[in-house]
Structure 1
Amino acid sequence: MRRSTVGGACGLAAVLVAASGLAGDVAVVPLGLWQQAASGGDVECLAVLRPVASPSADLSAVASAPVLPLAHWETRGYVLRRYSELPVVHLRVPGRLLDELARNPEIAGLSPLRTAHALRKEGKALMKVPDVQAKGFTGLGIGIAVLDTGVDYTHPELAPGGTGAGVKTIKLYDAVDNDQDPRDGEGHGTAVAGIAAGSDGGVAPRSTVVAVRVLNNDGEGSSAQILAGLDAVLTSVRTGNPYNIRVLNLSLGGYDDDWPPGPDTCDDLDPAFDAAFQALTEAGVLVVAAAGNGGCSRGVAWPACLSTALAVGAVYDAEICMDPIPVPFMCLSTQMSFGEGQCMRDGCVQNTKADRITCYSDSGTKLGVWAPSHCAKTARKGGGYEDCFGGTSAAAPYTAGVAALLAQAYPLHGPAALRKALEQTGKARTDDRNSITRNRVEALAAFDFLASYCGPPEPPTDFRGDPVGICPGGSATLSWNAVGTPDAYRVQRSLTPDFSIVEETVTASNSLVITYAAATPATLYYRVRAERACGSHSLWSTTAALPYAPQCGRTVRRHLTR
C-alpha cells in the first residue's frame, strides 16, 4: 500500500471560504447543501479532510492507534462510510448541524452527493488502431479499470472472469452490493468494456478489464458509490498494482444545479472527486471520462469537468445508413435523431458523416479530445453483440483502449505524457456551436509522438545508505548519483523485497535522510527512480537493504546474582 508523504492530501488546492459569509477556517460548503439544510431534513455529503502534516519522510511502523478523523461524528452515528485510500468521509447529518460540521477544523471542504447515469448513445479504422496493433501492441499486460454497471465476464470476448493470473476480466469490486462480484445486471458496462478491450474486436484486445460496479441495474449510482469504486482501484494500485492498471474509464456522469454544466473546470465544486482523480494520476493511472450527451456547448458533464480527467467528446465513425433500400449500396437516409438532452429540450437531428461532431456531444473549453461513437459494434450482456452502441459512452472507451496501447508501447511514460500524446495529435475538428477545436484521437499519430516526446531519464546509480543500518532515534542518509538532469526523484520503502506494500516520498535532491522506529527487528528495503515533469520516469534503481535493530546503540547492563 503506497502512502505519499508529500503534497498534502492528494495535492488539494487551497480552500476558499464559502460564499455564505462564514469567516475564519471554515470548509467550503456548496450553496446546494445550505439549501438542503434550510429545508429541515438531513444533509448527505462527502467531507474532504485537511492534510495531516508528517514529521519526516518516513512514518513509524508502530505507534499508538490513531484517532480517526471525525471520530466524534461517528460516535453520533453520522458517518456512513470511510475510504481506505482517499481523504474523504461520507456522512449524513441533520440540517441543523451543517454549520457545526463546516466549522470542524479537520474538514477542508464538503461535496454534495450527486447521481450519475450511464451515458448511453466502429471507430478503430478511423483512429488508425490497426496500424499500431500491426506493430505488435495489443494492450498485453495493461489493466483498464471500467467503472460502470459491471461487466458480463461470461461473454466470450470478456471471459473468463476471476482474480487470478490469466483471466480476461478481474472481478475487483461491486460498490452497489458491497461485494466482490461486479457482474453486469444492465448491459452498459459490458458494451463499454467490449469497445476498450474485447478480445476479438476491442481497441486493446489483449489488455485486462478490471471490473468495478458502481451503477445499479437501472444504470444509476451515487457519487459515494463511484468514490468507493475509485478507492478500490487506488487500493489495488497502491498494493503492488497486480493488474497493472494504467487507465480508468468512466462512461457515466450527470448535471446538477451547481453544474448545469458550466465553463472550464469544476474542481472547486467537488473537492472529493478532485482529490480522488489527483491521487489516481499521481499513482500512474490516466482517468478518461465521457464528456456527456446533453448537447451542451458551454461545458462538459460531471465528472469529466474535473481538470485531472481527460474529457472525451463524440464524432461519428462513418456515414450511417438509417433507411437502406434493396439495391446494392443505396440508402435513402443517413439521418439520425436523438432525444431530449440537458441542453437540447427538443433533441436533435443530424446527417451522419465520418468525423462529424455529433449534435448530442457536450463540448466546451474543458473538452480534451474527440473520439468515435456511433455506430460501435460491441459485446452485449448475455452474449452476442450490440450493433449500434454510441454516445460519449462509446467515445471514452475508444480513447481508453488507445491509451492502453500507448502504455504498453511506452511503459515508462506516465498519465501526463499519455494525455499529452492523445490531445496534441490526431485530426483537428472544430465544433460549429462554439468554435472550439480539439483533435480527434488517432492512435498512430500518438504512438509516433511519444517516440520523441519526454524521453525517460536514466535510472540513478550507486544507490546506497550511510550508515548501513538504523537504530531507534537515529537516522541514515540515502544517496545516489544522478544521470542527466531529471526534475525529481521518487523514493520508496518497503518491509518486503518485492515492494508489494510501500511508503514513498518525492525529493528534488539526490539524497534523503530517513528515520525508523519499531519494536521488532526488520530489514528495510529502499529504491529510487528519476522522474521528468513532462510525464516519464526511469526504471527503479538497485535495492538498498538496511537492517533495523530496536536494541542497537543501547548500553546493555548485565545483573549478576550470587
Structure 2
Amino acid sequence: MSSHPMAGSIERLTGRYLILLGSDEANAAQSHLNDMAGLKLQSIGGSEALQIDEISIAEGEGIVFHELGVAVVNSPPDQIAAVNSAVAQSSALHLMEPERYVHTYGTVDLDYLRGYRDAVNHLYDTMTGAEPGGGGLGTRMQDIAYDESQLSWGLQATRVPDSRFTGRGIKIAVLDTGLDLTHPDFTGRTIVSQSFIAGQGVQDGNGHGTHCCGLAVGARRPQHLPRYGIAYDADLYVGKVLDNSGRGTDAGIIAGLQWALSHDCEVISLSLGSAVERGQAYSAVFQQIAARALAKGSLIVAAAGNDSDRARGKINPVSHPANCPDIFSVAAVDRSLKIAWFSNAGLNPGGGKIDLAAPGMDVMSSWPSPDFYKALDGTSMAAPHAAGIAALFSESAPSARGRSLWAYLMQRAKPLSADSKDVGAGLIQAPLA
C-alpha cells in the first residue's frame, strides 16, 4: 500500500476487458462471444466463489457474471477485432470497456497535511497583513476540540452515540483487503468471509480492510477506548477483493459485488478505486451493477478518492467506481468539518457527484496485530462511516432499502459551509429515532 495515494506511476489498465450484456441475455451473449470471437467462457452465478488475480483468466478465456449481466474477458491482441465485431453485431452485447486496476484509498502523509495547514495560514497572513501565527484563518484552521476518552471524534461528529440503533439484523459487506480474524474486537461476531484473491486467504496482510471493517461495524466496547465502530450489532460480510499490497482489479470487485448481493447485504462498502480524468465518463458496467443493486434493495457506498492536492490548487474528479450515478459517493472532512485536502470533488457532468461527506482525517480504528489500533486519513475512512450509518437507517425503517435508504441519508445530513461539489448535501448523521 502506497504511503501517498497520489503517486503518478500507478498502472491503470490490466489489458483485459469488461463487456456489458443485455438484460436477461447472458446465455445468448455467452454463445455469441464463443461462436464469433472464439472465447472460452466460464459462467459464475449466485454466491459461487471465484478467486481472480492478474493471471487467473487465461488468454482467450473469460468469466460471465450472470446476475450482474457482465463478462470479463482476456483477449489476445489478434482476437480483439473479433470481440469488437461480436459486440457490434449482437443485441445481447452492449459495449466493451477496458478493465482497470484498483487500489486502497487510505494512509495519507500527515507531514504533508501539516504543510498544507501552514501554507494556507501563511497565505492568509500575507494577503491580510496579519502577524504570522497571530490568529485569523490560522485560528479557524485549528481542529474542533473533541474529548476522545470514550468515543472517537468521527462518532461524535455524526451523532452515532445518540442513536438508539445498532445495525441489528442488517448485513454489511466490506470489500477490501480482508480482516484480521484474530482481532479481539471481533471475537464472537457473526462474520461471513470469502477471498477473491488467488493464493491469499481472507486474513488481512495489509491492514486497510481491518480498519474499514472496524469503522463500519466495530465493537461497542473495544479492548481499548475510544469506541470507533458504528453498527456493532450488524452481521459482517468480509470480501477480500484487494491483495495484501492493497491492489486489485475490476474483475475482483465484480466478483465480490455478486457475492455480497447474493447474500442480500443491505449495505456494501467500497474504500477503493482508480483515478479518472476531467471529462472522462463513468463505467457503464459498474453503473449497471449499481442500478441492479439498488433495485435489489442494496446500497453501494464508495470512497470518492484521494487524488486531489488542494494546497497546490489541484482538485481531481470523483474516482472510479464512486463516480457512477447509482453508487453513493462519500467525501472526507477533517475535525473542523472542512473538506480534506486530498478529497476529490464532483467535477464531471453526467456522473461523479459527491453525495455526502464523513470523517476522514485522523480516524482511529482497528488494525491487525500487534498494533491492534491505528489512526489513518483518507476517503477510505469516510466511506465505512457512511456504510455503518446506512446500516443504522436500514434497521430504523424496514422500507429504508436501496434508493429509499439513499434518500434517508441525504435528508438527514447536516449542512456544511463548503460547496456541494466538495461535500454534497453535507455531513452524514445517524438516525436518532
Q: Do Structure 1 and Structure 2 share a fold, with TM-score over 0.5?
A: yes
Pick from 31, 39, 62: which aligns with 1:74?
A: 39
Matched, 1:300 2:318: yes
Question: Is the partner of 1:124 in helix, strand or coil?
Answer: helix
Kindly, what percent of the aligned residue pairs are identical? 29
CA-CA distance at 1:109 after TM superposition: 0.7
**Deviation of residue 420 (structure 1)?**
1.3
How many residues align? The count is: 336
In 1, the alpha carbon distance for the partners of 2:215 and 2:385 equals: 6
The answer (yes or no) to whether the contact 1:252–1:289 under 8 Å persists in 2 is yes
Whole-angstrom CA distance in 2 between matches of 1:361 and 1:306: 17
Asked if the contact 2:169/2:395 (under 8 Å) is kept, the reply is yes
Alignment partner of 1:284 is 2:297: yes
Return the alpha-carbon distance in structure 2 between the equivalents of residues 199 and 437 of structure 1: 29
Gaps of 5+ in 1: 1-35, 37-41, 55-63, 161-166, 238-244, 319-353, 449-562
Q: Which has the higher contact order (CA 8 A, sep 6+)?
A: 2
**Contact persistence 2:356–2:428 (CA under 8 A):** yes
Q: Would the aligned equivalents of 2:357 and 2:423 in 1 still touch at CA under 8 Å?
A: no
Q: 1:110 to 1:287 in 2, by over 3 A?
A: same
C-alpha contact (below 8 Å) 1:158/1:198 kept by paired residues: yes
Aligned to 1:409, which of 382, 396, 400? Answer: 396
Amino acid at match of 1:91: V
Contact 2:173 2:237 in 1 (8 A): yes
Measure the CA separation in 1 of the matches of 2:301 and 2:415.
19
Alpha-carbon distance in structure 2 between the residues aligned to 1:195 and 1:66: 40
Q: Give how far 1:418 is off.
A: 1.6
Instruction: Tell me what 2:346 maps to.
Output: 364
Q: CA separation of 1:280/1:97 partners in 2, compared to 1, >3 Å: closer, same or farther? A: same
Selected match of 2:156 from 122, 125, 136 = 125
| 2:414 equivalent in structure 1 | 427
> What corresponds to 2:118 in structure 1?
none
Q: How does 1:233-244 map to 2 (within 5 A)?
A: 233-237=260-264
Q: Retained in 2: the 8 A contact 1:375–1:387?
A: no
Contact 2:367/2:374 (8 A) holds in 1: no
TM-superposed deviation, 1:159: 3.0
Deviations 1:154-196 (A, max 9, x none): 2112235xxxxxx43211x2111278x4221111000000001
Q: Return the structure number with greater helix share.
A: 2
Residue-by-residue CA offset, 1:110-148 (whole Å, 9 max, x unaligned) = 12110111101330110111111xx2x111111110000
C-alpha deviations, 1:297-340, integer Å up to 9, x for none?
Answer: 35201110001111000111x3xxxxxxxxxxxxxxxxxxxxxx
Which amino acid is 1:254 matched to? S
Give the conservation status (yes or no) of the 8 Å contact 1:175–1:225: yes
Residue in 1 aligned with 2:94? 108
Quote how far apart the aligned CAs of 1:149 are.
0.4
1:290–1:395 Cα contact (<8 Å) kept: yes
Is the CA contact (8 Å cut-off) linking 2:277 and 2:316 kept in structure 1?
A: no
Asked if the contact 1:254/1:302 (under 8 Å) is kept, the reply is: yes
The aligned counterpart of 1:254 is 274
| Cα distance in 1, alignment partners of residues 207 and 422 from structure 2 | 35
Match of 1:438, SS?
Answer: coil
Q: Which runs of 5+ in 2 are unaligned?
A: 1-12, 42-58, 108-151, 221-226, 309-313, 348-352
> Cα distance, 1:68 vs. partner?
4.5
Specify which of 163, 168, 192 is matched with residue 190 of structure 2.
168
Q: TM-score of the superposition, structure 1-length normalised? A: 0.56
Report which of the two structures shows the higher radius of gyration computed on alpha carbons. 1
Using structure 2 for the length normalisation, give the TM-score.
0.71
Q: Distance in 2 between matches of 1:65 and 1:304?
A: 30
What SS does the corresponding residue of 2:398 show, helix, strand or coil?
coil
Q: Quick check: 2:331–2:423 contact (8 Å CA) kept in 1?
A: no
Counterpart residue number, 1:209: 236
Cα distance change on mapping 1:372 and 1:95 into 2, 3 Å: same
Query: Which has a greater percent of strand?
Result: 1
Measured after TM superposition, the shift of residue 150 of structure 1 is 0.7
Q: Name the counterpart of 1:49.
A: 21
AA at the equivalent of 2:212 = V
Contact 2:181 2:203 in 1 (8 A): yes
Q: What amino acid maps onto 1:230 in structure 2?
A: L
Trace 1:153-192 onto structure 2 (pairs within 5 A). Answer: 153-160=181-188, 167-171=189-193, 173-177=194-198, 181-192=201-212
Cα separation, 2, equivalents of 1:103 and 1:139: 48
- Contact 1:277 1:308 survives alignment (8 Å): yes
Query: Given the alignment, which residue of 207, 211, 216 partners 1:196?
Result: 216
> Which residue of the partner structure matches residue 368 of structure 2?
381
Cα distance, 1:413 vs structure 2: 2.0
State the partner residue of 1:150: 178
Does the Cα contact within 8 Å between 1:430 and 1:438 map onto a contact in 2? no
Structure 1 residues 383 and 195, CA gap change in structure 2 (3 angstroms): farther
How many Å separate the matches in 2 of 1:51 and 1:401?
Answer: 32
User: Is structure 2 residue 301 aligned with structure 1 residue 315?
Assistant: no
8 Å CA contact 2:360, 2:382 repeated in 1: yes
Amino acid at match of 2:183: H
